[in-house]
Amino acid sequence: ADVEQAKAFFAERQRTAPQNDALFGKYKDSNVIIVQGEAFMNFMIGQSIGGQEITPHFNELMKESQYYSHFYHQTGQGRTSDADFGANISLHPLPVGSAFVRYADHTYDSLPSILKDNGYSTNVFHAYESGFWNRYTMYQNMKYDKFYSKNDFAQDDPLGWSLSDESFFRQSVEKMSSEVTEPFYSFLITLSSHHPYALPKEKQQLDVGEFQGTMFGNYLQSVHYVDSALGKMVEDLKNRGLWENTIFMFYGDHDNSIKEQSQYEQFLGRSLNELDMTQIMNEVPLLVHLPDGAAAGTIDEPSGQLDITPSVLHLLGVSDQSYYHMGNDVYDGSSRTVVLRNGTFSDGSVFYIPSDDYIYESGACYDLSTRDKTDSNACRPGHDEATKRLHVSDTVITYDLIQRFREEDSSTATSQ
């Protein structure tokens, strides 16, 4: 029954004709650079402390980019690897463990494999041990041409677990311009803003005032550093002539594990309720810079990491219909329901928090127009849909169904 449910889910998805807007294929054959920022959350975007912006370069880039203001991480226990899995494979991370570790040999319709079939060079960059999160094995399965890991980078500016993000970006861009043929897809995973966020003195450029000496203050300090590295990377891409013909995306992987509500209240200067706090802990920013700075603006509808692959394919004019993806294409006008790993979901009208949420245990259905609790029946259809999606995704991953569905499809086609 589980397999039949999964089959029916994708059959329905493949039957629904997408609405292709003017952006469909507008950036065909452009390079694609996606940066996944470690613990880079949304609540501090656009905020200042003591008159100093926390993320000035991100804020500047926002003016000529699409900024998704309610973009959710959909990760579970696999943390950074789950964000990567959701964004590049467009299936839900598992309820337990990391799919990178547990099912690295199963079949997936990964973004790099699809782009490779469309003539792209595909490379992944992360300046840490290649075996962490089982990346070395998983990236081969995802069909990257090359995984540039710690040993491929000169350790010229050590920081935290590894190399500073500034040096990591500089060396990665150097490799993109000298070792990789265009069009390329480059996926970069940052590390400098990793828990517990301690930066050496000489890299601390933010006066965190009342938060000095706290982990929350260190967190702000470290994202400020990553933001400055991001600014330098964009300059570098421009100087090397790689900016104009590139779709550039930046998104956060997951929350910062700092759960003290009072710190967020102190920082934002207002009291927060369950809905505010749940959104804060689950929203990461997504920035999409299109080659001509087109379609810039803030998009308030909900979206999430699983939406990245279908949306990139839309911009490149590659139909997503035959692939086994569960994310929404943010450009085709279809459903915008975003389902988080623990069953939290939002469709832009309601926001549902399940009773086993890790901060609150009450569980509730919120009306987003009033931001008040509403009758739980308003969340019932969305809850059923969210439960189904998570279950279908788990079934497809666990039983390696993509491979099986493809074989069934081709034997049906042969017998016809």
Binding site for ligand GP9 (CB under 6 A): 38, 79-80, 128, 132, 189, 191, 194
Q: Residue 79 or residue 224: which is nearer to ligand GP9 going by CB?
A: 79
Closest CA to 193 of 333, 39, 354, 30: 39
Residue reference for tokens 């810039």: 296
Query: Is the CB of residue 128 less than 8 Å from the CB of residue 191?
Result: yes
- Other Cβ atoms less than 10 A from the Cβ of 293: the count is 12
The tokens for 116 are 């490779």
- Gap between the Cα atoms of 254 and 41, Å rounded: 7
Closest CA to 230 of 282, 287, 184, 177: 287
For ligand GP9, the nearest residue by Cβ is 79
Pairing mode, if any, of strands 52-53 and 286-289?
Answer: unpaired
φ, ψ (nearest 5 deg) of residue 83: -65, -45
**Residue nearer to ligand GP9 on the CB measure, 129 or 179:** 129
Shortest distance in whole angstroms from residue 159 CB to ligand GP9: 13
Judged by beta carbon, residue 80 or residue 303, the one nearer ligand GP9 is 80
Which position among 55, 75, 80, 344 bears the catalytic label?
80
User: What amino acid occupies position 382?
Assistant: G
Residue 60 carries which side chain, given as an amino acid letter? E
Min dist. Cβ of residue 404 to ligand GP9 (A): 30
| Residue 412: CB minimum distance to ligand GP9, A | 41
- In the complex with ligand GP9, the residue whose CB is nearer, 38 or 165, is 38
Q: Which of 62, 27, 59 minimizes the C-alpha distance to 331?
A: 27
Minimum gap (Å) between residue 411 Cβ and ligand GP9 = 40
Nearer to ligand GP9, 125 or 324 (CB): 125
Least separation in angstroms between CB 258 and ligand GP9: 14
- Between CA 324 and CA 89 the distance in angstroms is 9
Told to judge if 137 belongs to the known catalytic residues of this protein, a careful annotator would answer: no
Active site residues: 80
